[in-house]
Copies of this chain bind each other. A is one copy, B any other.
């Protein structure tokens, strides 16, 4: 029987999917909700404790008491300021080692994973729990990009990889060769809404989301769900492209059906490199 799974839950719908998958498989689990990030409605009546981000000491104690062996970290966590963090002793010790500068850095997530493993836990990727959610290559619905869209995809891919390498963001919107927007800390939904206002006349825009070069597959992969498709359609975009094997797609069949209903293409694309 699989070991007990610790679910460190950030925002969005994914923590709920992991809980549902554990229940369906009969796998024991325990949730550690991050206050102000995880949605209590999504966690529902699952066995759970709640901590602030700065309470690493309490968090490790609670996960050990719950008898957890493997840990999955799932759902976006807004980066805190030092004041919001209000670190406990264990958290302070951690930052004394990795440096406070790490607060603004994606290296932080890798350092957190390492820290969790130093406490005797094993950090696993979401795809080991939800086998079907890692993006596959090829179209999700019936639509595929035309030549203009293909050309926008290539440009957006290049820029997305570039801003990923700078550790800035994962998502880019391009229309007719023009970069309408680049994601930083605001998140993809907010990027899409902004690009709706910046769109030119004419066929409009593709969203590309890729994994940052060197990004640990277990941590914070780019994610799309039904809500992303609806935002993209509302903004007049033509389609969404994610990196095959480097992004999470929330419900393969549901995404394909919704893409067809909305008239969008949704595509998993292999990284050339």
Contacts and interface: CB of A to CB of B under 8 A. Distances in A.
Interface of A: 79-84, 101, 103-105, 151, 155, 158-159, 162-163, 165-166, 168-169, 174, 176-186, 194, 198, 200-202
Contacts of A82: 176, 202
A241 to B, nearest CB: 17
A166 B176 contact: no
A179 B184 CA distance: 6
5 contacts: A101-B177, A163-B166, A169-B179, A178-B185, A184-B198
A65 to B, nearest CB: 33
A182 B166 CA distance: 12
A183 to B, nearest CB: 8
A177 to B, nearest CB: 2
Contact of A198 (B104, B178, B186): B186
A166 B177 contact: no
Nearest to A80: B200
A186 B177 contact: no
A180 B79 CA distance: 11
Contacts of A79: 178, 200
Contact of A84 (B159, B163, B168, B201): B201
